[in-house]
């Protein structure tokens, strides 16, 4: 289970260091084998344990290509996916093309989403965090007790 937010810095080689509190879970869940891709709807990256990504990828790839938006979604989510491995120091190399796609240069925010993470630029996360409109949420979410 991945929750919480952590401020991270990219090193000179474009690597992020996974917080210690997640490392053992990632080793157990996927042996440190991860998939990083562009989030299909937001200007951030999505980081999945490999098996979790494969489940989502299979469901998406089963969708028919007759719809132009489905094709575009597949290109963004599947076509930009990169398999990465967490090294012994907990570092993950973020490929230059994915860093460029979201404007990630130095400071990032790692956001836990239970079964995956999102990686935002620090600036984008600050803006995203302030745009929640409770009235725009579906009734099923509004009924939750927080």
Domains of the chain by residue range: 5-125
Confidence of residue 136 (pLDDT cuts 50, 70, 90): confident
pLDDT the model gives residue 132: 76
Distance of alpha carbon 112 from alpha carbon 3, whole angstroms: 4
Residues 6+ apart with CB under 8 A from 127: none
Backbone angles phi, psi at 133, to 5 degrees: -115, 100
Q: What class, spelled out in words, does domain 5-125 have in CATH?
A: alpha beta
Average pLDDT of span 30-36 = 97
Structure tokens at 126: 């600050």
CB 42, CB 128: distance < 8 Å: yes
pLDDT the model gives residue 35: 98
For the cut 90, the answer to whether the pLDDT of residue 143 exceeds it is no
Distance of alpha carbon 144 from alpha carbon 29, whole angstroms: 29
Tell me if residue 127 falls in helix, strand or coil: helix
Range in 63-67, 119-123, 135-139 the model is least confident about: 135-139
pLDDT the model gives residue 145: 72
For the cut 90, the answer to whether the pLDDT of residue 20 exceeds it is yes
Average pLDDT of span 4-11 = 97
Residues 6+ apart with CB under 8 A from 15: 91, 92, 93, 94
For the cut 90, the answer to whether the pLDDT of residue 134 exceeds it is no
pLDDT the model gives residue 57: 96
pTM of the model: 0.91
pLDDT the model gives residue 142: 81
Confidence of residue 129 (pLDDT cuts 50, 70, 90): low
Distance of alpha carbon 14 from alpha carbon 23, whole angstroms: 19
For the cut 70, the answer to whether the pLDDT of residue 21 exceeds it is yes
Distance of alpha carbon 80 from alpha carbon 40, whole angstroms: 10
Average pLDDT, the chain: 94
């Amino acid at each position: 289970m991945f929750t919480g937010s952590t401020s991270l810095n990219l090193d000179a080689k474009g690597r992020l260091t996974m917080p210690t509190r997640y490392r053992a879970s990632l080793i157990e869940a996927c042996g440190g084998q991860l998939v990083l891709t562009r989030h299909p709807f937001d200007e951030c990256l999505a980081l999945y344990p490999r098996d979790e990504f494969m489940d989502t990828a299979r469901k998406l790839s089963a969708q028919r290509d007759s719809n132009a938006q489905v094709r575009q979604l597949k290109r963004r989510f599947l076509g930009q996916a990169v398999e990465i491995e967490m090294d012994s120091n907990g570092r993950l190399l973020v490929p230059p093309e994915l860093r460029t796609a979201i404007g990630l240069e130095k400071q990032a925010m790692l956001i836990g989403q239970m079964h995956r993470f999102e990686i935002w630029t620090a600036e984008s996360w600050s803006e995203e965090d302030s745009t929640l409109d409770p009235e725009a949420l579906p009734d099923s979410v509004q009924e939750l007790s927080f």
